[in-house]
Amino acid sequence: MRKTAIAVFMASFALLWISSCSGLVEYDKYTDQEIQKKTIRLACYYLDSYITRMVYDFNRLNDEYVIEIVDYCKYDDVVMKLNTEVLAGNGPDMFAWGMGRLNPLDTNIYSAAGVLVDLHRLMGNDPDFDCGTLLPNLIAALETSNGALYEIPTEFIVQLFASSTDVVGEEPGWTFDEYFALIDKYPHATLPFGAINWQSFFGLCIGNNYATLINWEMGECYFESELFIRLLEMVSIYDTPITESILPIKLVQEGRQLISSNAIGGVSSIQKFPALFGSEVNYIGFPTEKGIGNSFVIRNSVSINSNSEHIDECWRFLKSLVTYEAQIENAQVFPINNEALRERVFNAPLYEEEGASITYKDGEGDTWSVVFKDATHEESALVFELISSCDRVHRENWYIQKIIEEEAPAFFSGIKSAYEVAHVIQNKVQLFISEQSR
């Protein structure tokens, strides 16, 4: 009896469900449509754990939007792929720019083409955002020649050029004439910046003077300038291939190396310089006619597409990347948030790995290591002073670098003069800039 009653009930329920099925389906569609999140596409060429974690938190906590990470590393011609999407009007909402010579993307190309939002405008219109939150000289260094800001990094390292005070004195900053006078004074310094191939050294030279040699807003470059001629002369010392692997401390002791170019992402790593030179150190910077010549190398830099339909939400995500809480928890190197930077610098032992070291090895298996000790207050003050003195961002453009590497050997071998080579590079780079600005 009980089984029969249950059967009748189930049959009746089935008939009721079938008769109203279409209505239920329509209701489900309506519900799904209501709760479906809007997608924000974040294009990247390289993305580390910092932004990945922040995207995860955003997606977990946001009821209306979801960020989809699109990795462009998988495409053979990443620039063509991205440009095609942007021109077609279906480009990503945000860009996370990579770093390094293997990255073919250049923020400046997209900012000059009007693709990116001026973030100063968003900052100024946001009553909840304090522009003084971010490191001011880094923001100034990121601004274009017309004062716009098209990207904000989450963290940075500092590219330093250092030498013994016994060699260069104690005053930071020097001109090209002073640098070449030093080379004349030390004729045995055949590898003044250490054992580095000329291509990498040229990348270092161009990267440190990128904003001076190229003005994307004006669509101009200045490779026929006296600055570039001096850079050609600097790099020409390295035209002979380095076939041996040499410990830097041995080069310094033999007088073949006078300057160390190295990057630091923490306070205690400043200890590598006095350990190398065995003396007091002057962080003299790269030769320049203005400023000191040490530079920022930015990481996790993010921009917003001016054609995005979700600019406000993109900005909400971007500014979440540079809060004190996010920076203290996620930054692996120096954070751009002022408060977090001071905390990390002046309380460095709390945030830096105990017993960290840097080790060099030569071709014969000999090694030289520097084990970093807990940073002292004096070292923290020195690092903060160096950070505060930086006025430029190290930039590299993969395509422009290829042009330079193809043409520069004609000067090194004596086939062409420096001015002839500079003229060829000027024309080729100018053509590249003009093509990208269309």
The answer to whether 354 and 374 have CB atoms below 8 angstroms apart is yes
Prediction pTM value: 0.87
Q: Reduced to 3 states, what is the DSSP secondary structure of residue 149? A: coil
Residue 193's closest CA among 253, 256, 136, 272?
256
* Triad 271, 274, 280: Cα angle to 5°: 130
Per-residue pLDDT tens over the stretch 219-250: 999 999 999 999 999 999 998 888 778 899 99
Strands 367-371 and 357-361, by their bridges, are: antiparallel
Contacts of 391 (CB under 8 A, 6+ apart): 137, 140, 141, 291, 292
Contacts of 107 (CB under 8 A, 6+ apart): 95, 97, 116, 150, 151, 301, 303
Query: What's phi and psi for 240, nearest 5 deg?
Result: -80, 125
**What is the crossing angle of helices 198-208 and 398-407, to 10°?**
130
Alpha-carbon distance of 83 to 398, in angstroms, equals: 16
Alpha-carbon distance of 69 to 39, in angstroms, equals: 10
**Residues of the chain with confidence (pLDDT) below 50:** 1-34, 101
- pLDDT score for 99: 61
Per-residue pLDDT tens over the stretch 149-203: 999 999 999 999 999 999 999 999 999 999 999 999 999 999 999 999 999 999 9
Q: Which helix (H) or strand (E) holds 430?
A: helix 418-436
Strand spans (E) along 350-394: 357-361, 367-371
Structural domains of the chain, ranges and CATH numbers in brackets: 34-153+298-345 (3.40.190.10), 156-297+350-436 (3.40.190.10)
DSSP one-letter string for 289-322? SSS---EEEEESEEEEBTT-TTHHHHHHHHHHTT
Instruction: Report the number of secondary-structure helices (H) and strands (E) in the chain.
Output: 22, 13
Residue with token string 């026929």 = 224
Taking the alpha carbons at both ends of the chain, their separation in whole angstroms is 83
- pLDDT score for 366: 86
Residue 324 tokens, joined? 């004190």
Residue 393 tokens, joined? 């961002």
Query: What's phi and psi for 69, nearest 5 deg?
Result: -85, 125
Beta carbons within 10 angstroms of residue 236's beta carbon: 16
Given phi > 0 = left and psi -120 to 50 = alpha, else beta, which region is 244?
Answer: beta
Environment class of 243 (CB within 10 Å of its CB; exposed 0-12, middle 13-18, buried 19+)? exposed
User: Taken in order 325, 264, 44, 129, is the CA torsion positive or negative?
Assistant: positive
Beta carbons within 10 angstroms of residue 188's beta carbon: 8
Quote the radius of gyration of the chain (alpha carbons, Å). 27
* Triad 89, 94, 100: Cα angle to 5°: 115
Alpha-carbon distance of 233 to 228, in angstroms, equals: 9
Beta carbons within 10 angstroms of residue 373's beta carbon: 13
Residue 404's closest CA among 174, 286, 236, 156?
236
